Structure 1
Amino acid sequence: MEHQEHAVLAAADRLVEAFGRHDRDGYFSAFAPQATFIFHNLDRCLRTRAEYESEWTLWETRDGFRVRACRSSDRDVQIAGSVAIFTHSVETDLAFNGEPSTSTERETIVFEKQATGEWLAIHEHLSPRP
Structure 2
Amino acid sequence: MSGEDDVLAAARALVAAFGRHDTDAYFDAFAPEATFLFYTHDTPLRSRQAYREVWSSWENEGFRVLACESDDQHVQALGDDVAVFTHRVETTVRSGAVEERLDERETIVFQRGSDGRWVAVHEHLSPSPTT
* Pair in the same fold by TM > 0.5: yes
Output the CA distance in 2 between the equivalents of 1:42 and 1:18: 21
**Structure 1 residue ranges without an equivalent (≥5):** none
Q: Provide the residue aligned with 2:66 in structure 1.
A: 68
Structure 1 segments, 4+ long, off by >6 Å, are none
Structure 2 SS opposite 1:105: strand
Normalised TM-score (structure 1): 0.97
- Paired with 1:60 and 1:118, the residues of 2 have a C-alpha distance of 29
Paired AA for residue 73 in structure 2: R
Which amino acid in structure 2 is aligned with residue 34 of structure 1? E
| Alignment partners' CA distance in 2, 1:54 and 1:21 | 19
Give the alignment's TM-score, normalised by structure 2.
0.96
- 2:47 maps to which residue? 48
Structure 2: unaligned runs, 5 residues or longer: none
2:86 alignment partner AA: T
Alignment partners' CA distance in 2, 1:100 and 1:43: 22
1:99 CA displacement: 1.6
Q: CA RMSD in A?
A: 0.8
Distance 1:43 1:100 in 2: 22
Aligned pair 1:127/2:126, yes or no?
Answer: yes
How many residue pairs are counted as aligned between the two chains?
128
The aligned runs of 1:1-130 (5 Å cut-off) are 3-62=2-61, 64-81=62-79, 82-130=81-129
Give the AA of the match of 1:77: V
CA distance in 2: counterparts of 1:40 and 1:105, whole angstroms: 10
Percent identity at matched positions? 54
